[in-house]
């Protein structure tokens, strides 16, 4: 009797993405590695996303659909974790998609390394301007500064051993942006082995309607960044990080949050300085934020004069 292949539980949170949803679902359903359970959490969609999910479930018994009131991405992922039966867990965002051999590549690496987490590269999909972000083929151990190797802390370009997530009760912090970042900070503390492979199999769709272009969402993003930094430091204190590792954690957080450049203003800088302490990189971003606002005002004045 052939050995049963490990079951992969795919968690897909869904909210009003009818435009992209079929591409995502087709890419998962059409995998060369087909021993999957596909758990889709319809997070209170008001478009036809819920109906599309039910349509796929009617055709493919691997799909399991949960409909719930809107509670946010973190809550949807956490809900999905309640239903997993697989040996490994994968998180896919519903406006993204994956290459046909995505799970085969990751599962082959998992069998060889038996790592807690297997990570691959990804493609930032921006239409005509795409960027490939690759990782080397390498194994990292707990004393190799795992947090740094998780890059921006994305959870979707990885296979997570189910027992690893369950044994450490890892969950996503509710109602914040950049929820992956805090999850990865906490996960990195417990990871004993991380396997990375030189393969970019995940397509991350770059949203043209950026959070930072929306004033209300921009404020929520700044609030989320502060929460993430505070919660990360509380976690470090509870788990008795050394001073050296706390410095590494702060450096990692600064490096990640400075990517959201449009959020920077003096108040945001001062708040983060209070939480994380002074650093050169933090101060540089504070100055850049002031210069960007000044430049924007000049451009507005020029436009009016024209």
Task: Assign domain 8-205 to its CATH superfamily.
Answer: Spore Coat Polysaccharide Biosynthesis Protein SpsA; Chain A (3.90.550.10)
d(CA 244, CA 210): 35
In terms of C-beta density within 10 A (0-12 exposed, 13-18 middle, 19 or more buried), how is residue 113 classed? middle
DSSP lists the bridge partners of residue 67 as: 42
Q: Where are the domains of the chain?
A: 8-205, 211-305
If one compares 215 and 195, the residue with the highest pLDDT of the two is 195
End-to-end Cα distance, the chain: 78
What is the CA 42 to chain-centroid distance, rounded? Answer: 18
173 to 161, 179, 182, 184: CA distances (angstroms): 20, 6, 7, 11
Dmax of the chain from CA atoms? 79
d(CA 283, CA 26): 45
Q: What is the mean pLDDT of the chain?
A: 89
d(CA 190, CA 145): 12
Helix count and strand count (H, E) for the chain? 11, 10
Please tell me what DSSP assigns to residue 38: E
Per-residue confidence (pLDDT) for residue 119, from 0 to 100: 97
Percent of the chain with pLDDT over 90: 67
Per-residue confidence (pLDDT) for residue 294, from 0 to 100: 60
If one compares 125 and 116, the residue with the highest pLDDT of the two is 116
Per-residue confidence (pLDDT) for residue 4, from 0 to 100: 80
Global pTM value: 0.89
In the chain, what are the helix, strand and coil shares in percent, each to the nearest 5? 50, 20, 30
With 70 as the cut, is the pLDDT of residue 61 above it? yes
d(CA 279, CA 268): 14
106 to 163, 167, 296: CA distances (angstroms): 17, 22, 45
d(CA 254, CA 194): 23
Please tell me what DSSP assigns to residue 300: H
Lowest mean pLDDT among 42-46, 81-85, 302-306: 302-306
Q: Report, in angstroms and rounded to the nearest whole number, the Rg of the chain calculated over CA atoms.
A: 20
φ/ψ of 265, rounded to 5, equals -145, 175
d(CA 43, CA 79): 10
Lowest mean pLDDT among 142-146, 234-238, 290-294: 290-294
Q: What is the mean pLDDT of residues 138-144?
A: 89
């Amino acid at each position: 009797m052939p050995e049963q292949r490990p079951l992969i539980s795919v968690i897909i949170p869904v909210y009003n993405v009818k435009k992209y949803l079929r591409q995502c679902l087709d890419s998962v359903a059409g995998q060369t590695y087909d021993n999957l359970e596909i758990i889709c959490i319809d997070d209170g969609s008001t478009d036809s996303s819920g109906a599309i999910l039910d349509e796929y479930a009617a055709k493919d018994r691997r799909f399991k659909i949960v409909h719930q009131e809107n509670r946010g991405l973190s809550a949807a992922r956490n809900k999905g974790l309640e239903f997993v039966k697989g040996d490994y867990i994968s998180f896919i965002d519903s406006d993204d998609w994956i290459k046909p051999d995505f799970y085969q590549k990751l599962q082959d690496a998992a069998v060889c390394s038996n790592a807690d987490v297997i990570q691959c590269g990804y493609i930032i999909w921006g239409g005509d301007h795409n960027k490939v972000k690759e990782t080397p083929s390498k194994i990292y151990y707990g004393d190799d500064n795992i947090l740094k190797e998780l890059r921006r802390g994305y959870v979707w370009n990885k296979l997570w051993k189910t027992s690893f997530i369950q044994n450490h009760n890892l969950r996503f912090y509710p109602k914040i942006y950049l929820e992956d970042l805090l999850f990865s900070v906490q996960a990195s503390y417990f990871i004993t082995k991380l396997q990375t492979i030189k393969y970019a199999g995940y397509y991350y769709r770059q949203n043209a309607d950026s959070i930072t272009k929306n004033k209300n969402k921009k404020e929520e993003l700044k609030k989320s960044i502060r929460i993430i930094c505070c919660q990360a430091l509380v976690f470090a204190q509870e788990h008795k990080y050394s001073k050296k590792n706390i410095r590494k954690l702060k450096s990692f957080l600064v490096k990640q949050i400075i990517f959201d450049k449009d959020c920077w203003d003096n108040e945001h800088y001062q708040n983060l300085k209070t939480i994380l302490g002074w650093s050169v990189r933090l101060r540089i971003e504070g100055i850049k934020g002031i210069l960007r606002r000044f430049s924007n005002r000049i451009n507005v004045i020029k436009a009016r004069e024209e």
